[in-house]
């Protein structure tokens, strides 16, 4: 980081003097305008590291040394004469930089008119300092006509720099907005995944409670026997205690996850198109990662209503991700949303090979999976079972359909229950 900063300073120390030698003559006579000041103004706006006094002095000194070097190299004058001719430029840049820093001009980024006025004032005041020095040292007369020309040039140069700077600033803001949008969508997908895990964890705790109760009941039955088996009785009590410990561990995890999910998703409602955009973009990235060419489509007859984001993300992402994984190399995935009365219908369609007939009745069972990793270990098989559980909580149904070479999961839920789950 430090090397980059010093490299940038070195570039500035070279480019500002060079830009100062690029001159043109906009008016009749010897009045000339260089590009050194516009470049210096732009760099002060763009990089806050140049606001330090040492940097400002460095730039001012480099301009003077560069011009003295050119004079001597060209044989036009000696060292002393060249120094007297060009040292006032040092105070021009010094004054410009110090005043820029003193008035904290860069803090007015989003007030371009104020920055433009500051640019004009700084240039006029710095030019006045330079002219006064030249008139005192080199007996050059103070020409008020020249001052008016300086004001005109200052207006043109300052607002030209400001326009260019605002274009770059606008592009930077757009890039930052896109980055923030992507980060927010990533967080949404992560939280939607946590939402699903919280649901499974809740079920796991209920199962653990049931196993604990059944184990303890069995322990009591064994102890009621006329000839109880101490070893069996002790083993049953041990099982009950271990399951109870698992439940307590799950409760601690559940409390932490629930806190995160409730804090992030408590007030998150988006329109269906926005939710679909997040789903399509994240799964397009996933498809690209898998090396698949998949086209995503979204259709809906509801363009105004907002729905609980995390509930629908976790619900629909399971189905869309399954569709992406089912397609071999190339295909289409479509999400269709319809509103009818008090219910909502979600339809996820793909043109993959579909679900084999012999397993249609068990795909929603907890633990069923057709996916195995590279080592041959099966996945958890909780995706579709989770979807069915959430759908049933919303007093809905989920069906698997096949029509015209396409395969669809059709979900119908109560809109009222969906909204209640988002609260």
Question: Tens digits of per-residue pLDDT, 167-194?
Answer: 777 787 788 778 777 777 677 666 666 6
CA distances from residue 283 to 231, 264, 317 in whole angstroms, order as listed: 54, 22, 8
Q: Strand 330-340 vs strand 293-300: parallel, antiparallel, or unpaired?
A: parallel
How many whole angstroms separate alpha carbon 367 and alpha carbon 379? 9
Q: Does the pLDDT of residue 21 top 90, yes or no?
A: no
Q: Does the pLDDT of residue 296 top 90, yes or no?
A: yes
How much is the mean pLDDT over the chain?
Answer: 77
Among 290, 273, 285, CA closest to 352? 290
Query: What secondary structure letter does DSSP report for 345?
Result: E
pLDDT band with cut points at 50, 70 and 90 for residue 295: very high
What pLDDT was estimated at residue 380? 34
Query: What secondary structure letter does DSSP report for 358?
Result: G
Query: What secondary structure letter does DSSP report for 179?
Result: H
Percent pLDDT > 90 in the chain is 9
What pLDDT was estimated at residue 377? 34
How many whole angstroms separate alpha carbon 327 and alpha carbon 349? 11
pLDDT band with cut points at 50, 70 and 90 for residue 298: very high
**Which residues make Cβ contacts (< 8 Å) with residue 36, sequence separation at least 6?**
16, 17, 19, 20, 21, 22, 63
Among 58, 170, 1, CA closest to 50? 58
CB atoms within 10 A of CB 114: 14
Q: What is the pLDDT of residues 55-104, one digit of tens each?
A: 889 889 999 999 888 888 877 777 888 888 888 889 999 999 999 989 88
Q: What is the pLDDT of residues 205-235, one digit of tens each?
A: 666 777 777 776 777 777 777 666 677 767 7
Percent pLDDT > 70 in the chain is 72
pLDDT band with cut points at 50, 70 and 90 for residue 328: confident
What's phi and psi for 320, nearest 5 deg?
-70, -40
- Cβ atoms of 116 and 38 closer than 8 Å: no
SS (HEC) of 113-154: HHHHHHHHHHHHHHHHHHHHHHHHHCCCCCCHHHHHHHHHHH
Listed in order, strand segments (DSSP E) in 244-390 are 269-271, 293-300, 306-308, 330-340, 343-350
What pLDDT was estimated at residue 198? 63
What pLDDT was estimated at residue 191? 65
Query: pTM of the entire structure?
Result: 0.52
Token pair 């569709």 is at which residue?
A: 323
Q: Does the pLDDT of residue 38 top 80, yes or no?
A: yes
What's phi and psi for 228, nearest 5 deg?
-65, 150
How many whole angstroms separate alpha carbon 223 and alpha carbon 225? 5
Element (H, E) at 395: none
Q: Strand 397-403 vs strand 406-414: parallel, antiparallel, or unpaired?
A: antiparallel
> Tell me: domain 269-422, CATH 3.40.30.10, correct?
no
Q: What is the per-residue burial (b if ≥16 Cβ within 10 Å, else e) of 322-342?
A: bbbbbbeeebebbbbbeeeee
- Cβ atoms of 351 and 336 closer than 8 Å: no
pLDDT band with cut points at 50, 70 and 90 for residue 381: very low
How many whole angstroms separate alpha carbon 346 and alpha carbon 414? 12
Q: What is the pLDDT of residues 106-156, one digit of tens each?
A: 888 778 888 888 888 998 889 888 888 877 665 656 566 667 777 887 887
Q: Does the pLDDT of residue 264 top 60, yes or no?
A: no
Tokens representing 89 are: 């430029």
The predicted model gives 381-400 an average pLDDT of 78
Element (H, E) at 365: none
């Amino acid at each position: 980081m430090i090397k980059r900063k010093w490299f940038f300073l070195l570039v500035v120390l070279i480019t500002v003097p060079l830009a100062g030698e690029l001159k043109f003559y906009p008016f009749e006579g010897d009045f000339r305008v260089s590009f050194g000041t516009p470049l210096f103004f732009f760099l002060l706006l763009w990089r806050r590291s140049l606001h330090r006094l040492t940097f400002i002095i460095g730039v001012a000194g480099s301009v003077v040394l560069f011009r003295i070097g050119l004079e001597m190299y060209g044989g036009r004058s000696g060292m002393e004469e060249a120094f007297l001719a060009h040292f006032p430029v040092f105070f021009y840049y010094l004054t410009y930089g110090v005043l820029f820093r003193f008035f904290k001009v860069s803090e007015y980024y989003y007030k371009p008119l104020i920055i433009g006025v500051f640019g004009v004032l700084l240039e006029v005041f710095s030019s006045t300092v330079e002219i006064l020095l030249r008139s005192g040292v080199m007996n050059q007369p103070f020409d008020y006509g020249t001052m008016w020309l300086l004001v005109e040039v200052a207006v043109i140069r300052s607002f030209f720099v400001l326009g260019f700077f605002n274009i770059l600033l606008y592009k930077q803001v757009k890039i930052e907005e896109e980055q923030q949008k992507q980060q927010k969508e990533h967080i949404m997908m992560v939280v939607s995944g946590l939402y699903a895990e919280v649901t499974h964890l809740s079920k796991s705790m209920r199962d653990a409670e049931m196993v604990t109760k059944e184990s303890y009941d069995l322990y009591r039955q064994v102890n009621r026997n006329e000839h109880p088996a101490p070893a069996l009785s002790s083993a049953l009590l041990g099982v009950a205690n271990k399951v109870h410990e698992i439940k307590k561990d799950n409760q601690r995890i559940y409390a932490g996850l629930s806190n995160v999910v409730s804090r992030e998703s408590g007030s998150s409602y988006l329109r269906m198109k926005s939710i679909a955009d997040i789903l399509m973009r994240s799964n397009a990235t996933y498809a690209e990662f898998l090396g698949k060419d998949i086209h995503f489509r979204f259709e809906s007859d509801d363009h105004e209503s907002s729905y609980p984001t995390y509930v629908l993300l976790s619900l629909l992402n399971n189905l869309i991700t399954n569709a992406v994984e089912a397609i071999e190399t190339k295909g289409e995935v479509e999400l269709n949303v319809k509103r009818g009365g008090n219910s909502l219908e979600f339809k996820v369609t793909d043109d993959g090979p579909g679900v084999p007939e012999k397993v249609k009745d068990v795909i929603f069972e907890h633990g069923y999976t057709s996916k195995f990793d590279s080592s041959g270990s099966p996945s958890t098989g909780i995706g579709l079972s989770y979807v069915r559980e959430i759908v049933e909580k919303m007093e809905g149904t989920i069906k698997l359909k096949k029509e015209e070479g396409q395969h669809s999961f059709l979900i119908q839920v109560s809109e009222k229950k969906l909204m209640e789950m988002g609260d």
